[in-house]
Amino acid sequence: MPEKLTLKSDWMPYDKLASHIKQGDLIEIKKVNYIFFTICHWAVAVQVEPNDCFVVGLSKDSKVYLKRLSKLTYGKRCRVNNTFDKAYAPFSQHETVKRALYCIGMTEHVYNFNKYNCEHFAKECRNGVAVSHQVNNAGIFVYPGNWIRETANLSSSVSEELTGHSAKHLIHIS
């Protein structure tokens, strides 16, 4: 009887998760908890060992890296999360790993939380589609500095529409 495919595991420390990981799995790591949602880091498992694994992911400085999961989690909880497979068939394990490894060291993937982040990268490697559900589920989530800038832009555009005068000179917007 074939082994049952697990699309999503429970949250757990990496050392407990290690036995559940297969090459090509997407690993989701809890990073920051906000009131209504959690921001997670995503990576692709490329080499699985008995007590750890190597993953490939996209960093905030736009570099694709290869790292041990144990060094990436820093005690945070993580899980296997291949639920996007329901919507888009995944590549084979070999092809997923090959696609991820091919990108190591590249800087062509420009990191932008809303447009192309680590989740976009991981899902593109596994499923061929760059999408981030944490961005979609959070609505228009942006970092606090961006939220202030976007609010200022919205306020300025609404003010300008209502009054005919721009309020941008009142707020420094970079």
- In tens, the pLDDT along 79-108 reads 999 999 999 999 999 999 999 999 998 878
* Residues 164 and 99 both lie in one domain: no
Distance separating alpha carbons of residues 108 and 68, to the nearest angstrom: 23
Q: Indicate if 155 and 105 belong to the same structural domain.
A: no
The answer to the question of residue 70 being in a domain is yes
Q: What is the pLDDT of residues 101-137, one digit of tens each?
A: 999 988 788 888 888 999 999 999 999 999 998 776 5
- Cα–Cα dist 135/126, whole Å: 18
Please name which of 63, 41, 39 lies closest in space to residue 143, comparing C-alpha atoms: 39
CATH code assigned at 117: 3.90.1720.10
Q: How confident is the model at residue 166 (pLDDT cuts 50, 70, 90)?
A: very low
Residue 5 lies in a domain: no
Least Cα distance to 48 among 56, 59, 36 occurs for 56
Banded pLDDT at 21 (limits 50, 70, 90):
very high
- Residues of the domain holding 166: 142-174
Are 12 and 77 a contacting pair, CB within 8 Å? yes
Q: Identify the pLDDT of residue 137.
A: 58
The answer on 172 and 109 residing in a single domain is no
pTM: 0.75
Asked if residue 106 and residue 162 are part of one domain, the reply reads no
Q: Are residues 156 and 173 in the same domain?
A: yes
Cβ within 8 Å of residue 146, ≥6 positions away:
none
Domain total for the chain? 2
